[in-house]
Amino acid sequence: MDSSTTLAVARKYADAVAAKDFGAVAALFTEDVVWHQPGNHRLAGAHVGGDAVNQMLGAQMAATNGTLEITPTGPTMVNGALFTIPVHFSARRDGAEMSMDGIDVFRVEDDRIAEVWLFSADQDAENAFWDAN
């Protein structure tokens, strides 16, 4: 795949996430997208298919009353069909707060996102946040 195509998809994704336009985010996924949410908490695991990924993202936004923020902290890096974005993410829910860095890695196929892997700087803290009562 041409790196310029991958970069164009990356920019669309970053713009949609920054705007919290999850309809635009969903439109970037292949039908059989696989989203690897790290950790050992209620939202962790491999979410397969656009519906499953959208449900997981919706659950994150609902649990945080829309406070989940994802901000790029460095340049998008592209290697063929792969791109990565260093991010900082934060959210509040039920008196708990989370704020940490991460790396998001994506695989593009036919101008759409086919697979996503997330990496969190403090997985134990993220696990505790999502499982907080």
Domains, the chain, in order of start with CATH, read 3-131 (3.10.450.50)
- Does the pLDDT of residue 84 top 80, yes or no? yes
CA–CA distance, 126 with 41 (Å, rounded to integer): 8
Q: What is the mean pLDDT of residues 8-27?
A: 92
8-state DSSP, 119:
E
- Does the pLDDT of residue 18 top 90, yes or no? no
- Does the pLDDT of residue 133 top 70, yes or no? no
Beta bridge partners of residue 105, listed in sequence order: 84, 117
Q: What is the mean pLDDT of residues 105-129?
A: 97
pLDDT in tens, 29-54: 999 999 999 999 999 999 999 999 99
- Does the pLDDT of residue 20 top 90, yes or no? no
- Does the pLDDT of residue 25 top 70, yes or no? yes
Beta bridge partners of residue 84, listed in sequence order: 77, 105
- Residue carrying structure tokens 């920019």: 11
Question: pTM for this one?
Answer: 0.93
With pLDDT > 90 as the criterion, what percentage of the chain qualifies? 89
Beta bridge partners of residue 112, listed in sequence order: 109
Task: Give me the chain's average pLDDT, please.
Answer: 94
